[in-house]
Chains A and B, each alone.
Chain A
Amino acid sequence: MGGYIVRRLWQMIPTMLGVVLLVFVLFNWVGGDPAYVLAGKISSHEQIENIRRQLGIDQPYYVQLGIFLKQIVTANFGSSWSTNEKVSHILLTRLGPSLTVLVPLLILGTLISIGLALAVAYVRGSLTDRMVMIVCTVGLSISILVYIIVFQYVFAYKLGWFPVQGWGDSFWQNLVVYASLPILIALAVSIAPDLRLYRTFVLDEINQDYVRTARAKGVSENRVIWVHVLRNASIPIITYLMSGLPGLLLGSFLIERFFSIPGIGREVILAVERSDFPVIKAITVYVAFATIFTNLLADLTYKAVDPRVQLK
């Protein structure tokens, strides 16, 4: 086990370097001279030269890459180009609001999807099952934008049950007042695909021999479903959940944008709109690193929930 973890950590290094290289090539080479972006349209030659010296892009590429690596290791990406706020400060302060929406969403969404998936798979092939699947397919086809626009209009603007948008200072106020409609919308959007997927996971297990054995020896139906089937179906579900975690941080960017929640996702959109390269670079690199680490965690959890798995 220990050897396995060490080997996996060792294997991560080339991937992480690749991510750094990709981001570097993208922003320092493909994107052209950042000095022009930063200096704006009206700028003199000296100004451009000054900015180039400040950013270090008058240096050869390998020196620039060294600077970039140093920035990543020390978590010091300098200041945002548009607000002059420290990039590290931006990341830390935006994490809280994102998590305020994400954690309840993740818990509620997982519980509801698994519960529904078990129920639907239990009555597989019936009219209910087919109806739920049709609703899921159609629901998935409607753009998430339409859901957000319509829900925000109806529940916040017309009916006034929730504030249209905003964010406060106290955690509880944020969670109860401002985050509840965004969470509800995100739930409505995320349950359909999760339910479809989890249903296939449950269906893979529900026809197995051990289920028939359990029934044959007189185990109650509740125990068969909630203990025998769920425990085995949870293996792929957990892996799926884990691997999607870092993406979730950004996945709610539309929600954050519509409801003016100052989270990471909204920050990415703002940064792209303003060509704020340091912020995009920092978020891209760190989210990619987080993904690489959670992939390892996912494999370890896989081992933990399923003792049959051999880690190689």
Chain B
Amino acid sequence: MATPSATLGAAVPRSARVVPHTVSPGLWTLAWRRLKSDKVGMVSLVIVVLYLVMVILSALGLIANDWQKEVGVNYAPPSFLGAEKVVAAPDETPSVPAVPGGLTVPIGGGTTAGAAGGTSPATSSGAPAAPAYQSTIVDPIGDVIARLRAGKLPAGALPPETAEEKSVDPLAQVMSEIRADQKVAKAEKHETRLATLPFGGDKWGRDVLKKTVKGSETSIFVGIAAATVATLIGTLLGAIAGYYGRWVDDFLNWFYSVFSSMPGLLLIFAVAAVLQHKGVFTIVLILGLTGWTGVFRLIRAEYLKHKAREYVQAADAIGASNARRMFIHIFPNVSHVALVQLSILVVAFIKAEVILSFLGFGVPVDVVSWGSMLNEAQNELILGKWWQLVAAGTAMAILVTAFSIFTDSLRDALDPRLKGRAGA
């Protein structure tokens, strides 16, 4: 865009007279100027960039690399709340005072803060002495049982399992094997755990802050990657349909109407049901392959409009090939449409990923995302542990707000005719 006027300026003989050498700004320069003058848009752009930096650092393993490490007690509360008040059993006095931050509680078999408070004097010397319930055992009501036991039975004398449990529970045998394994594992490392963590801990005492960072990495990566795939598919098909027209257009339009006649989430569910393999790239593929229809429709309309313009005829006249006309000549003039659609899709796909992962159709179990955090948080809330819900929910809400506002600003900057039109 900038080159024609620049060459015109240079074409005038310099000796004749001094021509003010002004280069008229191109579309992107103008858009960037408009965007810069939009304060709210710039603030949201900064927030989005900060998130992206965090994602890149986390992907490189520079931060939150050890998110899986169980550093705190189970459900360690956030530091600003202070350590959890010890649930005092009738005949016991709380031995762990509620001291905020930095306090370490020796783990006697990894019970909850409450139960550990009751039993820690007796068991602090030997960690594997009385493993009531190991914290790492995946047992949703494990800590509740542990608390009940701590209340009823004398401290330090908790039997690993009762005869009754053995006769009733068909899995008692398996359970005792797991316990034996755990004992060996625990005996090797004496560890102390923090009573509080900056943003609290989850069921296994993992740092919620680090988990949120890692979850952001997954969710944002899925959103951006899937949106890129969908935009590429939509742009390519839209360009071909709009440029070639005739039967190509008819065929691709049929393809489009088939895909768009299924409500998006239903199609995603159907593909998720069929693809048994779970993984981050599977979900990128699912979202990308189902979400291209909106981009297709807009890009096709743009190509229909542009292919009859003079500059394309001129390109034809100088012998530019079809592919060259489509992607070198026309595409730069419609790329802003694709960019805005990409931006809209990122937000939509982040939301979709969160829902899919929440339902268990998304990322695999060993990968943390905002959706899987919310899934855990649903059960934790009943126990009064709200911090994981707030952490994941807030991290997502801030990014999505900033990204949506940025998208609006971007569209206003690239296509000022639409200014003030929200939604649609």
Contacts and interface: CB of A to CB of B under 8 A. Distances in A.
B330 to A, nearest CB: 27
Contacts of B423: 193, 196-197, 199-200
A256 to B, nearest CB: 12
Contact of B272 (A18, A272, A277): A272
Nearest to B400: A141
A275 B273 contact: yes
A141 B404 contact: yes
A15 B258 contact: yes
A122 interface: no
B265 interface: yes
A253 interface: yes
Contacts of A30: 274-275
Contact of B358 (A133, A145, A273): A145
Interface stretch (B153-161, B169-177, B375-383): B375-383
B263 A272 contact: no
Contacts of B389: 146, 149-150
A185 interface: no
Given A146-B389, A284-B266, A138 B401 contact: yes
A199 B422 contact: yes
Given A15-B258, A22-B258, A142 B393 contact: yes
B381 to A, nearest CB: 5
B255, B258, B397, B401 interface centre (most CB from chain A within 10 Å): B258
A269 B405 contact: no
B355 interface: yes
A287 B401 CA distance: 32
A131 B143 CA distance: 45
A137 B377 contact: no
A32, A142, A193 interface centre (most CB from chain B within 10 Å): A142
Contacts of B424: 197, 200
A133 B382 CA distance: 33
A153 B381 contact: yes
A22 B424 CA distance: 28
B270 A26 contact: yes
B273 A277 contact: yes
A53 B8 CA distance: 76
A20 to B, nearest CB: 9
Interface string A127-160: 0000001000110111111100110010001000
A246 B263 contact: yes
A15 B382 contact: no
A19 interface: yes
Interface residues of B, number: 49
Interface string A199-241: 1100100000000000000000000000000000000000000
Instruction: Bin the interface of chain A by size.
Output: 35 or more
A200 to B, nearest CB: 5
B262 A268 contact: no
Nearest to B396: A143
Nearest to A248: B263
Contacts of A280: 269-270, 273
B354 interface: yes
B374 interface: yes
A298 to B, nearest CB: 13
Contacts of B315: none
A64 interface: no
A291 B393 contact: no
Contact of B377 (A149, A200, A251): A149
A57 B397 CA distance: 47
A292 B260 CA distance: 9
Interface in A12-48: 14-15, 18-19, 21-23, 26-27, 30-32, 37
A292 B422 contact: no
A248 to B, nearest CB: 9
Interface in B257-287: 257-259, 261-267, 269-276
A283 B265 CA distance: 12
B271 A14 contact: no
Given A143-B351, A146-B389, A157-B382, A271 B374 contact: no
Contacts of B396: 141-143
Interface in A65-88: none
A56 interface: no
B359 interface: yes
B382 A272 contact: no
26 contacts: A18-B254, A18-B257, A22-B262, A26-B270, A37-B276, A137-B405, A142-B396, A142-B397, A143-B351, A143-B370, A145-B358, A145-B378, A157-B382, A196-B422, A197-B424, A200-B423, A247-B264, A250-B263, A268-B269, A272-B361, A273-B360, A280-B273, A283-B266, A288-B262, A288-B266, A291-B262
Q: Which 9 residue pairs spanning A and B have beta carbons closest together? A: A18-B258, A141-B400, A31-B274, A247-B263, A141-B401, A196-B423, A146-B393, A197-B423, A272-B273
Interface of A: 14-15, 18-19, 21-23, 26-27, 30-32, 37, 133, 137-138, 140-146, 149-150, 153, 157, 193, 196-197, 199-200, 203, 246-247, 250-251, 253-254, 257, 268-269, 271-273, 275, 277, 280, 283-284, 287-288, 291-292, 295
Interface of B: 254-255, 257-259, 261-267, 269-276, 351, 354-355, 358-361, 370-371, 374, 377-378, 381-382, 389, 393, 396-401, 404-405, 420-424
Given A200-B421, A288-B262, 13 more contacts: A18-B258, A22-B258, A22-B262, A141-B398, A149-B381, A203-B420, A251-B263, A251-B265, A272-B269, A275-B273, A275-B276, A288-B261, A295-B261
